[in-house]
Amino acid sequence: DYELCEEWGHLYPVPREDLINLHREHLLHLLEMGDMEKALQLLERIEDPGICLAISEQSLDQHPNLAASHFLADYLTAHFYMNLTTARRNEIQALYMGSKVLLTLPELSRVKYFHLSSRPLLMLEQLLMNMKVDWVAVAVQTLHQLLAGQEIGFTVEDIDNLLSKYAEKALNFPFALKEKRS
């Protein structure tokens, strides 16, 4: 049905907003089905870059599943980096990094942390508080790789400070040890 509507859009004048809505729904459907290749082909078929940007941003704002969010954040960063405001760019890059970290977690646990996908530092802190040390190690390694040369609102130093804070708390004993005398 989407493809038929797209053909009609080539034959008859369709208002810009309706065209954006059609392509957005088609894109979200393809991403929901896990067909990233067809989703990419759909975006490449759209000749007007303004419409393509609107479709991609609106789709991302609908908070699709993890793989779709990762795909859209990657696409927007790769194709429309200069068209985005600094705040929006940082938001999309944080979502990209957060989704990348989520993909390193065990599949059944991803749902618990999905709501933090746009806040990677907070996700890292949540993992630390939940004592998921092995997961934290992989997440930190992933973030270090992704942050190389990037500016997204937080730095490697912020990650290190967070880790130091929790390491200090882990060594903090709430009681005094008493000496035994023989």
pLDDT for 51-98, tens place per residue? 899 999 999 998 888 889 999 999 998 899 888 888 888 888 888 888
> Got the DSSP string for 148-163?
TT--SS--HHHHHHHH
Two tokens at 12?
Answer: 């008859």
Tell me the pLDDT of the chain averaged across its residues: 85
Q: What distance lies between CA 117 and its chain's CA centroid?
A: 5
Q: Please say whether the beta carbons of 167 and 121 come within 8 A.
A: no
- Is pLDDT at 182 greater than 60 in this prediction? no
Residue range 141-169: average pLDDT? Answer: 80
Residue range 9-34: average pLDDT? Answer: 87
Q: Please say whether the beta carbons of 107 and 91 come within 8 A.
A: no
Q: What is the pLDDT of residue 25?
A: 92
Q: Is 35 or 173 the better-scoring residue by pLDDT?
A: 35
Q: What is the pLDDT of residue 153?
A: 72
Question: In this structure, what are the phi and psi dihedrals at residue 48, rounded to the nearest 5 degrees?
Answer: -85, 115
